[in-house]
Each structure stands twice: as structure tokens, then as C-alpha cells.
Amino acid sequence: MVKHDEKQFLNLPFTGICTFGKYPICADLDQLDADVAVIGVPNDMGTQWKSGARMGPRGIREGSTLYSFGLEGAYDIENDITYLGPDWKVVDCGDVDMVHGDLMQCHENTEAAIRKIVSKGAMPVVLGGDHSITAAVGEGLEELGPFHVIQIDAHLDWADHRSGMRYGHGSCIRRLSELDYVQKIFQLGIRGISSSKKEDVDAAREYGSVILSPRQMRKMGIEEVLEQIPAGEKYYVTIDIDGLDPSIAPGTGTPSPGGLLYDEVNELLEGIAKRGEVIGFDLVEVAPPYDPTGITQQVGARLLLDLLSYVLKEKESRKLV
């Protein structure tokens, strides 16, 4: 057996506690002291078809361990930059408490948790859950307003209600539009039949929402898409995993063919981080029961780590100015 003088602690993906990115745990939000607070919202009571996104936070955490080997930061070979270095304190705060069968209590619990994170000066990174949770997260971000909303999604999510239900996963962006501190809304990746009724699309356009399908985005190019977004302002980014094509992210309750590819979303997120200040973001609708390979939760985790990397690198560069 060969012995090495210098021993490294590798913290390999299959060892230890399965937190997001293998980051430390903060079990009590009252004791939160961090730059970034990752929190799960395992709520899928707002779904209109297949449930399963309640298992999303656990799945995303497991997927994230692939990208966290316990070394000093993450080196990007394409950009020749090391991200997520030791100067930033990121913690996993576990999950918002859920009350089974009571959607609105779950939303209230979610809003309260986000308000607490914001009050502690940390940036919330939210693991869904179905997309209904985004309305509650938006409420919790009130102190950081005004801000714009950037949505990556197959579906418009602008339904006013479904038989009186106003807080399902098909209504979350319309609920955000009703908040007086939400400014413009950019809806990217929207496509396909059954995404929304015509009256919902008309209402979104009347509000002033910018709606682009993957085909339109490809014709424009990412730079032109980014130019639609006001520069130097605040953004809340919400990523529905079904914004990506189901060939690379099949584990979701409402897959829609013709979606964005990983590289396209990655480039878009990098551009968003450089264009202004991201105050928080979520990734929703990962439903592990529909993907035995686990690739969906790995793609979702990678996108969250990508955006977090870009946001923190921009904060570093602004500190140096």
C-alpha cells in the first residue's frame, strides 16, 4: 500500500451528509449567518397533473453532490475561472415545513422563511417544489423590491384561477405581476399547445410581459434576448426545469418538447448575472419519480450552481472596483 505524506479530505459525492453542494447546515433560520441560504420547499399541492415535485429538493441535493468534491472552489475550464471560492459562506437551511393538504399554509410558511432569510442579509436560493411556490417566494422578497422577474419555463403560468384556485402552479407569475414592487416580467422558453389560454396570453401582454419561445430566442441570439432586460437593476430569476427540453430533463410533471438546451440556459444565466443584480432565484418542478436515471436532478443542480457561481463572481468583481 502506497502512503502519501499529505492527505486530502475529498468529501466525495457518495460520502457524508447529502446537503446542497455538500455545504454546511444551518438548521435554525434565527441563527442564520451566511451570504447564501439554500432552502427547499417540498410542496407539489399546486400541480394540475402529475405530482412528485415534493421530492425535488431531495433529488436536487443528491444531484448537486456530483459537483462538490470538497476542494477549494470549482474551476471552469471553458472560462478559466474558479467559482464558489472559500470567501463566500453558503449554507443549506433544510426545508420549509409543509402541512399536508393545506396549500395556503404551506405558502405562508414559505413566505415567512424567505422573509427571515432576507432579514438576515442572505440571498435565498430555493429548491422546489412545483411552480406555485414562486408566488410565495415573491411575497417573501418584498423588502428587496422593486425588482424584475425573469422566468425560464415552457408555460406562461398566467392563469387567474382554476375554479377559484388562485395559487396553483399555473398562476404563479400572474400573482407576481400583482405585487406593486414587481416591475417588468420576462418569460423565456414559452412554447407549445396548452401552455395557456389565449386570454391569459393577452393579459400577460397587456401587463407588458416580454414572451419569447425557444425558436424566437434562437433567431434573436442570446445577446439580443439579454438586451430586452433593463441593465443595472434587480432581478428575481425563476427556473422551471420544463423550460429545458425533456430529452435532457425528463423528470418533470408537465414536459413539453422543443425546449431550451443546457448550454443555452447556461449562457443566458451568465448574461443575466452580468447585466444586473440577482437578488434571489429558484428552480422548480423537478420530479425525481419520473426519471430513474437521475439526470434531471443533476441538470437542475448544475444550473443552480452555475447561476450561483456567476452571481457571486459578479459580486467579487464589484467589490474590487
- Write the secondary structure of 151-167 as one string of H (helix), E (strand) and C (coil): EECCCCCCCCCECCECC
Question: What was the pLDDT predicted at 158?
Answer: 92
- Split at pLDDT 50, 70, 90, the class of 68 is confident
90: β partners: 36
- Split at pLDDT 50, 70, 90, the class of 5 is low
Residue 48 predicted with pLDDT over 60: yes
Residues 213-229: pLDDT tens digits? 999 999 999 999 999 99
Q: Lowest-pLDDT range, 96-105, 148-157, 196-205, 306-315? A: 196-205
Gap between the Cα atoms of 273 and 269, Å rounded: 6
Residue 79 predicted with pLDDT over 80: yes
Question: What was the pLDDT predicted at 87?
Answer: 86
Residue 94 vs residues 28, 29, 45, 204, 252: alpha-carbon distances, Å: 9, 10, 19, 34, 22
Main-chain dihedrals φ then ψ at residue 87, nearest 5 degrees: -75, -15
The radius of gyration of the chain from alpha carbons, rounded to an integer in Å, stands at 19
Q: What is the mean pLDDT of the chain?
A: 93
Residue 321 predicted with pLDDT over 60: no
Residue 320 predicted with pLDDT over 70: no
Query: For residue 41, which of 242, 251, 285, 252 has the smallest C-alpha distance?
Result: 285
- Split at pLDDT 50, 70, 90, the class of 1 is low
- Split at pLDDT 50, 70, 90, the class of 71 is low
Cell numbers placing 259:
425546449
Question: What was the pLDDT predicted at 160?
Answer: 83
Question: What was the pLDDT predicted at 11?
Answer: 81
Over pLDDT 70: what percentage of the chain? Answer: 96
Contact 230/184 with Cβ under 8 angstroms? yes
Question: What was the pLDDT predicted at 75?
Answer: 84
Residue 81 predicted with pLDDT over 70: yes
